[in-house]
């Protein structure tokens, strides 16, 4: 069975917001698994509120990505591989100040704004995260405005 996830690429011109995942010991874009029956879009709104305390007001689907991950997910018995389908949303406007709420402190250890040059220096940063950030910044450079 394919699991679904949604992640937010929160961009402030040339900087991106990343969070440190204590379980995976790496920085990544905020987001997570979609709940059963939840759309990707509904999931990312919920995840951004839960994980970094913001309400997204402008976001667009940026990229879809299929992954195969080794290991289990929250108590599953199968120790093999799991297939995931995800959507990454580019978030350019939001309400609130990004922070890690107390309810998420057990899984997230840091939140920071980074440029793409700073992003590549973070520990165990997934290559796909760097590629998505570079593409999102390139899109910002080509934006002519409304």
Query: SS3 sequence, 6-62?
Result: EEEEEEECCEEEEEEECCCCEEECCEEECCCCCCHHHHHHHHHHHHHCCEEEEEEEE
pTM of the model: 0.88
* 94 compared with 140, residue with greater pLDDT: 94
Question: pLDDT grade, residue 79 (50/70/90)?
Answer: low
Class in CATH terms, 3-141: alpha beta
Reported as a single tens digit per residue, the pLDDT across 16-66 is 999 999 998 999 999 999 999 999 999 999 999 999 999 999 999 999 999
Domain ranges of the chain: 3-141
Asked if the model's pLDDT at residue 146 lies above 50, the reply is no
């Amino acid at each position: 069975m394919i699991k679904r996830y949604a992640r937010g690429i929160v961009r402030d011109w040339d900087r991106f917001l990343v969070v440190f995942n204590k379980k995976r010991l790496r920085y990544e874009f905020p987001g997570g698994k979609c709940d059963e029956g939840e759309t990707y879009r509904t999931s990312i709104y919920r995840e951004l509120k839960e994980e970094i305390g913001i309400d997204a007001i402008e976001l667009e689907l940026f990229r879809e990505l299929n992954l195969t991950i080794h290991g289990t997910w929250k108590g599953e018995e199968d120790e093999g591989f799991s297939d995931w389908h995800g959507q990454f949303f580019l978030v350019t406007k939001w309400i609130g100040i990004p922070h890690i709420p107390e309810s998420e402190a057990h899984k997230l250890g840091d939140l920071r704004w980074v440029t793409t040059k700073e992003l590549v220096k973070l520990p165990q940063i997934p290559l796909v995260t760097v590629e998505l950030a570079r593409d999102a910044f390139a899109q910002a450079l080509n934006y002519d405005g409304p």
